[in-house]
């Protein structure tokens, strides 16, 4: 499903960055000051990776590591999933959903030219939120007011229609019509 919006229409062209030698404390302060959930890690004007709030919480704090004594280079994500600025934001959202990430580096000719966030996409095309809902898992069901999960209802990834009975075809959830055409 194409939206007509390209990644370059809504990406952040100048994401906040830090050097790989920055402390995790400096990263946290930069995130708080700039109201962002991720920082691009750069050395000599070249992107080396990404560090997110989740990285700090899951890789550092949850393991009992003192963030005041550690640098970003030890915890940043170096193997990045990326997207082209000319791709449709629908494709970006599918990548984010399937990879369970909220920040997608935008790369053109081998160089990072921006950062696309989940919020960026949803500001431009809020109707795409339904694509994400399909991937969410209800954890700790006993503590949730929902006592059942409807597994067959979804948004067709082919035509974008809401349907009560989807089929998984080649990794995509499709309505009956789109499944027949696949």
15, 33: one domain: yes
Burial of 122 (0-12, 13-18, 19+ CB in 10 A): middle
- Domain termination residue (choose one: 87, 108, 129): 129
Mean pLDDT in runs of 10 for the chain (182 residues)? 86 93 94 94 90 93 90 92 93 86 92 90 74 52 47 71 79 84 82
170 and 86 share a domain?
A: no
The residue segments making up the domain with residue 99 are 7-129
Instruction: Decide if 7 contacts 83 (C-beta within 8 A).
Output: yes
pTM equals 0.69
Residues 78 and 152 in one domain: no
Q: Tell me the β-bridge partners of 168.
A: 173
Q: Is residue 2 part of a domain?
A: no
């Amino acid at each position: 499903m194409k939206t007509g919006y390209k990644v370059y229409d809504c990406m952040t062209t100048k994401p906040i960055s830090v050097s790989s030698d920055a402390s995790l404390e400096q990263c946290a302060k930069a995130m708080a000051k700039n109201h962002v959930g991720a920082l691009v890690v750069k050395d000599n004007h070249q992107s080396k990776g990404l560090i997110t709030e989740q990285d700090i919480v899951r890789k550092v704090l949850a393991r009992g590591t003192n963030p005041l004594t550690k640098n970003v280079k030890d915890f940043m994500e170096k193997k990045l999933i990326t997207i082209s600025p000319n791709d449709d934001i629908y494709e970006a959202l599918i990548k984010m959903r399937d990879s369970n990430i909220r920040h997608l580096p935008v790369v053109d000719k081998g160089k990072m030219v921006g950062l696309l966030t989940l919020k960026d996409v949803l500001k431009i095309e809020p109707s795409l939120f339904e694509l994400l809902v399909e991937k969410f898992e209800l954890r700790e069901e006993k503590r949730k007011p929902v006592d059942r999960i409807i597994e067959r209802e979804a948004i067709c990834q082919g035509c974008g229609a809401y349907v009560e009975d989807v089929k998984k075809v080649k990794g995509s959830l499709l309505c009956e019509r789109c499944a027949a055409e696949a």
